[in-house]
Amino acid sequence: MAEPIDPPPAGFASLGLSDALVAAVTALGYEEPTPIQREAIPVLLSGRDVLGQAETGTGKTAAFALPMLQRVSEEPAARGQTLGLVLVPTRELAMQVAEAVHKYAKKLGSRVVPVYGGASMDQQIRALRHGAEVVVATPGRALDHIRRKTLALEGLRFLVLDEADEMLDMGFAEELEAILEATPSERQTALFSATLPSRIVAIAEKHLRNPVRVTLGRAKTSPGKLPRVRQVAYVVSRAHKAAALARVLDMESPASAIVFCRTRLEVETLVESLNAHGYRAEALHGGLVQRQRDRVMTAFRATKVDLLVATDVAARGLDIEHLSHVFNYDVPSTPEAYVHRIGRTGRVGRAGVAITLAEPREHRLLRFIEGFTKQKIDVATVPTVAELRARRLDLTKASLREQLLGGGLDEVRVVVESLAEEFDVLDIAAAGVKLAHAATVDGGGDQGSEREIPSAIPFERPRPAGHRDRFPSRGGGPPFRPSRRPGGEPVTRIHVSAGRQAGVRPGDLVGAITGEAGIGSREIGAIEIADRFSLVEVPERLANAIVSALRASTIKGKRVAVRREKEGP
């Protein structure tokens, strides 16, 4: 979906845009330009280069797209020539920006073509040969087309580098340099970046001509819309971060959230722990191929996934609406990174929540971030057992209230009437509430998760009675071999000829199955890993498809033998 553009003061006509473009943005519902649009559009229309510092959500897409479209519409291009090129860090952002530019260009007739990796090269070549005044591309795929001579830049008039700092962080420095060298020196250039470190300034000094510098923060929303993001930090030792995160997740109950981690290994480990104990979490990191990224994002946007656990680089360029929470599993390395992370929530006037887990030694970094942002970060204590139990009781109460309002209790009313002959009605109701509450915490006993932090606390999440951990302990005793799930669905187990000696972990198997077979991680049951093989419980109806998919792929970079587990005696 295209980046949202907040409407601003005084109309777009006052900025010098053509009637056709003013009509286009008016038809889209934009009434007034945002601060960055008000600053950048007149400068770009005058022909000057721009070096802009602006966050996602400030309306910068229109700030560069509208002047670019006006310029490329002034002179017709030779067939097959591109007049405007927008470079962005990710496939997702390429699609979003291309969609927005296409909407603005409707009344001009300019063709817009997105070009990115993971899509058909032949199809993109045909689209470019058919003619594209504007191309929105990721650096790697753009350079591929330049070298194939399917992207002609000899007549380029307008170049945009969007999210430039992210493109450099993702390792596109050489590609950007090669593309910039392939463009005409007389082109007009706009460079936008959330931060302006020295390497961005160096690119600007080398490739921009006396640029006008525009520096703006996030767009302000109207009074009363409460754009503030509630910022909270919990100081907790590294050994207890996972348990602390579980507590906070239970207390917050986010509608949709991103958990940021520093490393790919941390992402995978955390996803395994979260999924093993009832959360619907998916990983997003640089080790995923585009097909896997697409599957994860589709599931997240369709609310089939509660938590997206991601590295900074992998999450860049994503525009996710209605994100209620952002969790920093570690304090970001720079204040700019912190601002960029938490800027993903609290958009368009909605309230947002940003929660950071900081180690005791990182307390100083929190104060540094506060000084940089001029905003208070409340330091709180991790929710106590009593608070967690109270929260769970609140959830039980809400569920019971919903059931009472929904009616349909006649079938069980006879039980209450029968017991009322022997017990007080309030006692009967209290017993019913206790049973219902116990069912949400897997039996209601004194679970390990309810020991006080900083004790070593395993994850524990309220979940339906009968729930079984997907990654059971590897201790003694016979292996768990169910023939059916609690709901009655038949299951079987897949035998994979790689185990601990090959470095296989549960996350490797989950990732391979979800990525290659295209099924959700919730379909996968218990996983047992032995020294030389692994066993994965899957629904019977999906077993053949999973076996076929895994046979055609690799695990830990190697081909493995995959079959259904042989039945025991």
Task: Retrieve residue 232's tokens.
Answer: 């909270």
- With contact defined as beta carbons under 8 Å apart, do 165 and 197 qualify? yes
Q: What is the pLDDT of residue 56?
A: 62
Residue 192: helix, strand or coil by DSSP? strand
User: Which residue type does 72 have?
Assistant: V
Measured distance between the N- and C-terminal CA atoms of the chain, rounded to whole angstroms: 55
User: Which residue type does 118 have?
Assistant: G
Could you say which DSSP state residue 381 is in?
A: P
Closest CA to 21 of 1, 50, 44: 44
Q: What is the pLDDT of residue 485?
A: 53
pTM of the model: 0.49
Residues 6+ apart with CB under 8 A from 254: 306, 307, 324, 325, 353
Q: Would you list the DSSP string of 435-501?
A: HHHHHHBTS-S--GGGSPTTS-------B-TT---SS----SSPPP--SB-TTS-BEEEEEES--GG
Which domains, from first to last, does the chain contain?
12-215 (3.40.50.300), 229-383 (3.40.50.300), 386-450 (no CATH), 491-564 (3.30.70.330)
Task: Retrieve residue 102's tokens.
Answer: 């296409």
3-state SS string over 398-446?
HHHHHHHHHCCCHHHHHHHHHHHCCCCHHHHHHHHHHHHHHHHECCCCC
The residue with tokens 């008016």 is 26
DSSP H or E segment with residue 190: strand 188-193
**pLDDT tens digits in sequence order for the chain, 569 residues long:** 444 444 333 478 889 999 999 988 888 777 778 888 889 999 999 999 999 987 666 678 899 999 999 988 887 656 667 999 999 988 878 888 998 899 899 888 889 999 988 788 889 999 898 888 999 999 999 999 999 999 989 899 999 999 898 888 778 889 999 999 999 989 999 999 888 888 899 999 999 999 999 887 544 444 333 346 889 999 888 888 888 898 888 888 887 889 998 888 888 889 888 877 678 889 888 777 778 888 888 888 888 888 899 887 767 666 666 678 999 998 887 787 788 788 777 665 566 889 999 988 777 788 888 888 888 888 888 887 777 777 667 777 777 777 777 777 777 788 877 887 778 878 777 777 777 766 655 433 334 345 455 433 333 333 333 333 333 433 333 344 445 555 567 888 898 988 888 888 877 788 788 777 777 777 788 888 887 888 888 888 888 888 888 887 778 777 888 998 864 43
Alpha helices in 260-330 (DSSP H): 264-276, 290-301, 312-315
- CA dihedral 289→292→298→302, nearest 10 degrees, is -150
